[in-house]
Structure 1
Amino acid sequence: PISFEAGELGMVSTLFSGQPSHAGLVAGPDLSLRWIPVPDIEQSLLQNRERLVLLVRFLAQRLREVQLRERNWLERGVTERVCATLARSMRDAPRRADGSCLLETTHEHLAARCGVSRPKLSMELKRLEQSGLLVLRRGAIEILQPGHFSPLD
């Protein structure tokens, strides 16, 4: 999580891309938010060197945080990676009346998201299936116990 103090400019990685950000925002005390158009931000930065330096420092810090998260992710084992990726995939997937969840995906796609080889992913999914946590289907994975999986990011 990132925290901002009063008067700080809250930036997300999608700020200059024009794409919507699906990040959540939790406020402790009451707060007021105001969207500042990108051209106004750019103009302000170009007119004030100190602001530009502050922005570069902020982005450098964010890059270091991302690198640390990436390193921690790479040091995790296959089981942790697969479970975390399944948990993230379930966030947007509809739940059935019995609580189960159907993920329409391929082993190839899931392996790429996990950062593991397809054979390692397949072995781990088979182990999870034998444990009764999921059922492998053609082009889909049925998660029988969604509560078992939790995101590690």
Structure 2
Amino acid sequence: MSVPALSALVVKKTALGLFQVGKEGKYEIVVRNIGPTADPGPITVTDALPEGLTFASSPDTGVRVDGRVVTWTLDEGIPVDGEVTLTLFVRIGATTPPTVMNIVSVDSPTEQVDDAELVSDAGADVAPADPLAATGAEPAWLLALAALLMLVSGGLLLERRRRRTAGTEA
């Protein structure tokens, strides 16, 4: 007689390091099985990225991306007291709000006991983009403006002279 699998999957998501507009941010997702039996899988981990974040990369196998939804499939499951760590790199766009809350969820066909924690979130403050570096172009604009003014002034002086010369010849 076979005993059906019962597991308690626990997911924990953490934002690591600085999140700054124009750069990449890093999340770590840890899925543990605290028992009482192994979860034979497949286990699906789904991360719906919030507005302003887009998928950059993940070094893990079994990852799929559909728009802002990132999904990992753990075909082999997780043994009792085992864990799997997933890494997610995201691009932080200009429209990202000053604080983001990212939620991950776990699903398995195995029956989960009361200790299971199938959803986790991680908040991160988002720093503004680095200021633009000075390019030294300011003096170039002033020189271009001065050259334009000299050209217009020269043209006006030539026109005035031409009219004077034409007036004295008549």
Q: TM-score range by the shorter chain?
A: under 0.3
- The structure that has the greater radius of gyration is 2
Structure with the bigger percentage of strand: 2
Higher relative contact order structure (alpha carbons within 8 Å, sequence separation ≥ 6): 2
Question: Normalization by structure 1: what TM-score?
Answer: 0.24
Length-normalised TM-score, structure 2: 0.22
Structure with the higher fraction of residues in helix conformation: 1
